[in-house]
């Protein structure tokens, strides 16, 4: 609408201002995308660096597939990226049985990357019941769940519902780590708003490393 209002007609006749506006809008969108990418890279880097320094882990297990930058980010932190089954590519649905089998076979005390909702790049998420089972598989192994939460509110349209996975793990007593981006769901695209959160079992654990 802005494009048509400035130009006042179809492309082809006196479109210098139109082309200039298109170029400006294109450049703005590119900058916004790069800022969002930078934000989440930084937050994931902080989580990876924390795991390397305090988590006593050298590897992190990620769903196959996952966000294209995860592997490079964790390599940068000194963590070797490994994968567990996630997508059934032939059926284009969650390979839940394969996922659970792989998680059961992880070494104890492993760091495990999980997408809180709106899995990137597939959009395929476990059900609440499946999240509960995933939690019960990882809990006895002493694994460290590392949640990537970049789209809370966009999977179901309800931010509370999209927090189900993280809250299930917290309620089950896991040492949860969560990276969050608020740039999209708060509409704060130019402010690069996000955080890294850690759940500790008590105040002593939460303060000893400061």
Catalytic residues: 67, 148, 150, 184
Q: Where is 125: in which H helix or E strand?
A: none
Closest CA to 75 of 62, 88, 64: 62
CA separation for the pair 58, 72 (Å, rounded): 14
Spatial neighbors of 161 by CB under 8 A, at least 6 apart, are: 155
Q: Residue 161 CB: number of other CB atoms within 10 A?
A: 13
- DSSP for 44-88, please give it: HHHHHHHHHHHS--SEEEEEES--TTHHHHHHHTTPEEEEEE-EE
């Amino acid at each position: 609408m802005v494009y048509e209002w400035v130009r006042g007609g179809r492309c082809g006749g006196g479109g210098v201002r139109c082309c200039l506006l298109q170029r400006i809008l294109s450049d703005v969108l590119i900058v916004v995308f790069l800022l969002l990418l930078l934000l989440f890279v930084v937050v994931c880097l902080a989580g990876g660096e924390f795991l390397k320094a305090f988590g006593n882990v050298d590897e992190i297990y990620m769903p196959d597939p996952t966000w294209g930058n995860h592997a490079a980010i964790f390599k940068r932190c000194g963590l070797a990226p490994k994968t567990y089954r996630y997508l059934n590519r032939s059926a284009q649905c969650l390979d839940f049985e394969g996922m659970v089998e792989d998680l059961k076979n992880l070494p104890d005390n492993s760091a495990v990357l999980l997408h809180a909702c709106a899995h990137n790049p597939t959009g395929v998420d476990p059900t609440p019941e499946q999240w509960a089972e995933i939690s019960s598989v990882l809990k006895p192994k002493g694994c460290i769940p590392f949640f990537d939460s970049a789209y809370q509110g966009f999977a179901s349209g309800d931010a509370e519902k999209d927090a189900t996975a993280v809250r299930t793990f917290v309620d089950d007593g896991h040492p949860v780590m969560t990276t969050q981006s608020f740039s999209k769901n708060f509409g704060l695209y130019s402010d690069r708003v996000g955080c890294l959160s850690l759940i500790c079992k008590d105040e002593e654990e939460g303060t000893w490393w400061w």
